[in-house]
Structures are given as structure tokens and as C-alpha cells.
Amino acid sequence: MKTERKKKIEREKKARKPKKNRTQKILILVIVVLVGITVAASIKNIISLELEHSRLEKQNSQLKAQKKELELELKNVNSKEYIEEQARKQLRLVNPDEILFVFPDEDSSQTSSSK
């Protein structure tokens, strides 16, 4: 009887080992998948940040160029010529001895004639 019990216990131990190995393999697989997902998400985040960085670098260079233009314009703001030019362009002012001719834009005349 004792030998039968020992044999039965040994069979149960052998039956438990494959279950233990299977559980360990599944656990390792889950860990590897989670690490893979984390790495993929990190790579995606890095790529999106690099794209945003390059976009911001371009925007920064454009703003620097605009700043230089505005600084040049600022130097000329108080000159009589600049003030006169802006008054003519923006306000359509003329000198008393001048006549202002206003012609319709080509685009607006084409749209009105095509209707």
C-alpha cells in the first residue's frame, strides 16, 4: 500500500510540473508582450515629438525672419516718406493737387459679368 501511495504521489508531482512550466511560459509571454507594447508606444511618442520639434524649428526660423522685417520697418516708421506711403496705401489719401482713380478689381468684374 505504501508503494502505491508513493507511486501516486510521484505521478501527481510529475503532473504538476508541466502545469508549472506552462504557467511560467505564459507569464513570460505576457511580460514580453507588455514590454513590446511599451517599447512600441515609446517609439511612436519619440517619432511624434521629433516631427513636432522639426515643425517648431521651421516656425521659429519664419518668426525670426518676420522679426527682422518688422525691426527694419520700425526704423522707418517715423520717416515722412513711410508715413506718406502708408497713408496712400491704407487710407487712399492723395495730395490736394492729385486725382485718385479707383478701378474695380479684375476678379470682381469677371464674376459680376459671368452672373
Residue 15 lies in a domain: yes
Q: Which residue has the higher pLDDT, 15 or 51?
A: 51
Q: pLDDT tens digits, residue range 25-82?
A: 999 999 999 999 999 999 999 999 999 999 999 999 999 999 999 998 888 888 888 8
User: Is position 111 within any domain?
Assistant: no
Residue in this structure with the C-alpha cell 504557467, named with its chain if needed: 23
Query: For the chain, what is the domain count?
Result: 1
The pLDDT assigned to 107 comes to 67
* pLDDT at residue 103 tops 50: yes
Does a structural domain hold residue 109? Answer: no
- What is the extent of the structural domain holding 38? 2-93
For residue 115, name the pLDDT band (cuts at 50, 70, 90): very low
Choose between 46 and 114: higher pLDDT: 46
> What would the 3-class secondary structure string for the chain be?
CHHHHHHHHHHHHHHHHHHHHHHHHHHHHHHHHHHHHHHHHHHHHHHHHHHHHHHHHHHHHHHHHHHHHHHHHHHHCCCHHHHHHHHHHHCCCCCCCCCCCCCCCHHHHHHHHHC
54 is a domain residue: yes
Long-range interactions of 12-21: CB distance < 8 A, separation 24+: none
